[in-house]
Amino acid sequence: MKSAILVFPGINRERDMARALQLASGQEPAMVWHADTELPKGTDLVVVPGGFSYGDYLRCGAIAARAPVMDAVRKFAGDGGLVLGVCNGFQILCESGLLPGVLMRNAHLKFICHDVHLRVERSDTPFTRGYNAGQVIRVPVAHGEGNYEADDETLRRLEGDGRVLYRYCSASGEVSDAHNINGAAAGIAGIVSERGNVLGMMPHPENHVEAIMGCTDGRGLFAGLVEHLAKAA
């Protein structure tokens, strides 16, 4: 799996992501600067990592979405390439038009930084094939604006088309307001594009891939991507 990680001023999770991708694939990802206009040849996966691109000025992700490299990412996604956006990366994908909706301030107006539980809603996508449908995983979050919102028609379409892949839940898999950590509509933690090749999610699976961290639940996402691309080759 040949992956490329976008690097914007203020991004600070690119090395965490690179570590996870290298462990899963055995290949070191390419780092692509925001001012570049092309992706490395042969790229299989583009990752937009977390952090605070451009200091989160204007809206989170709004400036990064207009960086030169994003034209190449939009073309890559339009051609069916896999794109993963995590936390600030999710915000950037929404701001760039690659995913619908917007990430708002957390409902309690506080920065959240702790482990959460997610229910995997499907296991038949490149981003979830490493899990079972209905499986509950534990991964960290670290965000102040992770409250996913969209208009009613968009939410109906996301639900109807099975495009919600990850949802905040309890340790037993219960989805309710009590376990919705940031107030996101329908407890949404991650969604895919209409073609299913672009995933945006707020939690950080890349930080739970090694046993030394006390949990390896994030491995499934990366292992699934490697398996998907190996079968597609």
> Catalytic residue numbers?
87, 204, 206
Greatest extent of the chain over all pairs of C-alpha atoms, in Å = 46
Query: Which amino acid is located at 54 in the chain?
Result: Y
> 């957390």: which residue's tokens?
106
Cα distance between the two ends of the chain: 10
Nearest-Å Rg of the Cα atoms of the chain is 16
Number of other CB atoms surrounding residue 160 within 10 Å: 8
> Three-class SS of residue 103?
strand
Let me know how long the chain is. Answer: 233
